[in-house]
């Protein structure tokens, strides 16, 4: 861990976060948007693990909260993909810009 400085890890996870944001903004497919959200959560997890080894009060804290983030990512995937399947059954589309029932 002290081989590479903390700021390099933070820059790396920042790049991962930016790529995820770009994916959320530009993908049309809802599943593609969900995949990009997983990238963003993963970047946050890398930060938590890196901080748990350098700046945190006790070394377990970061890892425990990274576990919580992984659990919430699994919840996001399950509920999001259930919504996608229900939407596909009702409207026969998975593209976010074609779902404009409530838009005028």
Partner 1 sequence: MDFLQLAVKTGIYALMAGTLVFALGVVTLKNLFHAALSLAAVLIGTAALYLAFHAEFMAAVQILLYVGAVITVIIFAVMLTEHIAERSILQHNKQSLPALLGVLALLVLIGKVLLKTPWPVNPSTLDARVSVSDLGVALMGTYVFPFEVISILLIGALIGAVVIARKGSHP
Rule CB under 8 A: which residues touch partner 1? 1-4, 6-7, 10-12, 14-16, 18-23, 25-29, 31-32, 34-36, 38-39, 42, 45-46, 49-50, 52-61, 63-64, 66-68, 70-75, 77-79, 81-86, 88-90, 94, 97
Which residue's CB is nearer to partner 1, number 42 or number 104? Answer: 42
Which pairs count as long-range contacts for 86-90, CB under 8 Å and 24+ apart, including other chains? 87/30
Which residue's CB is nearer to partner 1, number 45 or number 104? Answer: 45
Which residue's CB is nearer to partner 1, number 2 or number 104? Answer: 2
Evaluated on CA atoms 86, 93, 81, 73, the torsion sign reads: negative
CA angle 59, 62, 66 (to 5 degrees): 145
């Amino acid at each position: 861990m002290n081989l590479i400085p903390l700021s390099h890890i933070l820059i790396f996870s920042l790049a991962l976060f930016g790529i995820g944001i770009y994916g959320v903004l530009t993908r049309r497919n809802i599943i593609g948007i969900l995949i990009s959200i997983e990238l963003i959560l993963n970047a946050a997890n890398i930060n938590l693990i890196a901080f748990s080894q350098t700046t945190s009060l006790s070394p377990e804290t970061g890892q425990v909260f990274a576990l919580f983030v992984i659990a919430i990512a699994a919840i996001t995937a399950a509920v999001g993909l259930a919504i996608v399947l229900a939407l596909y059954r009702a409207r026969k589309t998975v593209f976010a810009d074609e779902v404009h029932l409530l838009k005028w």
